[in-house]
Amino acid sequence: MDVSRNSVSMEQWSSIIDERMLDDEPVLNLQRDGEGTYDAVFIGGGAAGRFGAAYLRALGGRPLVIDRWPFLGGSCPHQACVPHHLFSESAALLDRERLLDGKLWFGLGERKVSILDVVEVFRHGRVAAHAFMNWQTKAQLEVEYVLNAPARVLPPGSTPGSDGARHTVEAAGRAFSAKNVVLGIGARQNPLDAPGADLPGIFDFATLVEELDYEPRRAVIIGGSKVAVEYGSFFQAAGCATTILTRSPLLATQSLHHVDADLRRYVVEGMRKRGVEIVEGSSLLEIKGGDRVERVIASGPDGEMLEFECDFVFNGTGESPNSELPRQWLGVDTGPRGEILVDKRMRTSVECVYAVGDIIGPPMEMFKARKCGMTAARNIMGEAFEFDFSEYPDFFHTTYDVTWVGLSEEEARAQSNDIVVIQMPPKGMADGEIPLPCSEGTMLYAFLRPEFSGFQKCVVDGRSRRILGFHHVGYGAKDAFQYLDYLLRRPEGLTIDEMGQMNELFLNPEHFIQLCRLRAGRRELVDL
């Protein structure tokens, strides 16, 4: 279907997407019927491709986005961040119900809450985000696109060099010529490698929202990724007894940098207190079952054989880049984990071919995907623009928001012998000894179950007075961390004295401003 000349409302987009999910009819939104040469064809209209195309258009270029799904936005609204946040928000609410059970108005007791119902809420609602992506990209961002059509790049050299065109991309039975190709086709879940890995009842983040059709009661999660922790916390909070089997210590994997040891302890102990069974140093050996999974066999930390009954297995082992097709099409160089190799300008080893987002490997996060897209666009439009994503603020959910930026205390102490720590609860106090941090979203815990009221730490260099890291377990602090990251990474950094000058909106999600002020008057800084 061709919507190029129509103004399409949100409601119409919802119906179009629902229909196109059931067939393979392409959706065309083209200027000049797709004739002429595009400055760039973005293959994959996820966060990386959509933001790249929008930026290139904003700079005055002509982008085309092609996606195999009938909507833009990619995996984020369809299977990844959006359901993750729906599940994590549900987990936080359920956690409160469970931890405060029998107090005030709380009365959920041991009752199991339906995971399937929450999944259904997502399935029924997700088209709204899809429709918005299509509507915004056409009506407001004025980007051309072809949807519901997988793309293929013809081998380099098969394109006549007219009008600066270097590449031809095929999709929906048409050929589009492009000066540049931007590869943004994402990543996919790593498969489980063990006998029984194809039994019914084994899910990952994508199949959970597409295929779950029964109520899980006993879950085993394989892997220790962010997704494993987030989804495991949700399943447990819903009343589905959950075991996490992980090779590395939870939250201490290489893929997560700067995780502070005290923060990690608070989080992992907190998950255990809530009933999540965590087996570190374990490896999957086999999954057994018949019509559905029944048991997971694993080796334990001392090589012992472990067995876990279950009716649901969740694969949380992480993702790998979808680089096979681009390698076939173009011969782009890839790294050891299948990631397409790029420089800081997102250029691959092939001329006029860029790669962006999850396909270039970790960190597989939205900020990186979108900013990679923007970086490719700026370079294609003639600017020598570099993007370094080696440092960034990070977060995941348990039943809390866990947020951090900068150095952990251990990393800071390895660099300097003058490190000062401002921490809540203060060092040496057991969880719950005082009802602090007692900040946004934890007030009921502070009064009724103080050990669950969160954790905060600020790491300061005593000599320069510069703040080196912030670490937070609680609610509502993600927002602040986006800006703290920016302030910390300015060449001049951010000092404890500048923090003390800021104006807090008390009670604030993290208490760093007021706590820094309590110490900023001292010439010789000391812990708080």
Binding status of residue 338 toward ligand FAD by CB under 6 A: no
Verify whether residue 506 is a known catalytic residue. yes
- Catalytic member of 72, 352, 438, 525: 72
Contact 81, 88 (CB under 8 A): no
Q: For residue 68, give Cα distances in angstroms to 94, 197, 245.
A: 37, 27, 34
| Binding residue (CB under 6 A) for ligand FAD from 293, 369, 402, 436 | 369
| C-alpha to C-alpha distance for 342 and 356, rounded to whole angstroms | 9
Q: For residue 372, give Cα distances in angstroms to 73, 182, 504.
A: 15, 10, 34
57 to 96, contacts with ligand FAD by CB under 6 A? 66-69, 74-76, 80-81, 84
State the number of CA atoms in the 13 A half-sphere of 310 facing the CB. 30
Contacted entry of ligand COM, ligand FAD, none for residue 271, CB cut-off 5 to 8 Å set by kind: none
Angle between helices 47-58 and 366-380 (to 10 degrees): 40
| Binding residue (CB under 6 A) for ligand FAD from 3, 91, 143, 151 | 151
Binding status of residue 54 toward ligand COM by CB under 6 A: no
Handedness of CA 340, 344, 348, 353 (dihedral sign): positive
For residue 421, the minimal CB distance to ligand FAD (Å) is 28
Buried b (16+ CB within 10 A) or exposed e, 417-444: eebbbbbbbeeeeebeeebbbbbbbbeb
Identify which of 51, 73, 76, 70 has the alpha carbon closest to the alpha carbon of residue 172: 70
Identify which of 404, 418, 408 has the alpha carbon closest to the alpha carbon of residue 485: 404
- Catalytic member of 42, 86, 94, 130: 130
| Binding residue (CB under 6 A) for ligand COM from 167, 370, 371, 472 | 370
Closest CB to ligand COM among 51 and 455?
51
Verify whether residue 438 is a known catalytic residue. no
Q: How many chain residues bind ligand COM (CB under 6 A)?
A: 10
Binding status of residue 46 toward ligand FAD by CB under 6 A: yes
With contacts defined by CB under 6 A, name the span among 40-48, 269-277, 289-297, 460-468 that binds ligand FAD: 40-48
For residue 359, the minimal CB distance to ligand FAD (Å) is 6
Verify whether residue 130 is a known catalytic residue. yes
Binding status of residue 73 toward ligand COM by CB under 6 A: yes
- Catalytic member of 22, 124, 505, 506: 506
125 to 144, contacts with ligand COM by CB under 6 A? 129, 133
Helix runs in 187-292, H state only: 205-211, 226-237, 261-273
| Binding residue (CB under 6 A) for ligand FAD from 127, 342, 364, 380 | 364
Binding status of residue 358 toward ligand FAD by CB under 6 A: yes
Contacted entry of ligand FAD, ligand COM, none for residue 75, CB cut-off 5 to 8 Å set by kind: ligand FAD
- Catalytic member of 59, 81, 325, 448: 81
Closest CB to ligand FAD among 44 and 216?
44
Identify which of 386, 384, 395, 401 has the alpha carbon closest to the alpha carbon of residue 485: 395
Buried b (16+ CB within 10 A) or exposed e, 107-118: eeeeeebebeeb
Identify which of 137, 129, 149 has the alpha carbon closest to the alpha carbon of residue 8: 137
| C-alpha to C-alpha distance for 344 and 341, rounded to whole angstroms | 10
| C-alpha to C-alpha distance for 328 and 311, rounded to whole angstroms | 40
> Torsions phi, psi of 241, nearest 5?
-55, 130
For residue 82, the minimal CB distance to ligand COM (Å) is 6
Read off the DSSP letter of residue 360.
G
| Binding residue (CB under 6 A) for ligand COM from 20, 50, 378, 519 | 50
Q: Is 513 helix (H, G, I), strand (E, B) or coil?
A: helix
Binding status of residue 76 toward ligand COM by CB under 6 A: yes
Binding status of residue 172 toward ligand FAD by CB under 6 A: no
Verify whether residue 81 is a known catalytic residue. yes
Q: Is 241 helix (H, G, I), strand (E, B) or coil?
A: strand
For residue 16, the minimal CB distance to ligand COM (Å) is 18
Cβ neighbours, 10 Å, residue 48: 34
Binding status of residue 321 toward ligand FAD by CB under 6 A: no
Angle between helices 226-237 and 115-135 (to 10 degrees): 130
Look up tokens 């208490």; give the residue: 511
Contacted entry of ligand COM, ligand FAD, none for residue 185, CB cut-off 5 to 8 Å set by kind: ligand FAD
With contacts defined by CB under 6 A, name the span among 75-83, 234-242, 266-274, 518-526 that binds ligand COM: 75-83
Binding status of residue 247 toward ligand FAD by CB under 6 A: no
| Binding residue (CB under 6 A) for ligand FAD from 8, 58, 108, 366 | 366
For residue 47, the minimal CB distance to ligand COM (Å) is 3
Q: Which residues are catalytic?
A: 72, 76, 81, 130, 506
Under the rule (CB under 6 A), what is the footprint of ligand COM?
47, 50-51, 73, 76-77, 82, 129, 133, 370
Under the rule (CB under 6 A), what is the footprint of ligand FAD?
43-49, 66-69, 74-76, 80-81, 84, 150-151, 184-186, 205, 227, 325, 357-358, 364-366, 369
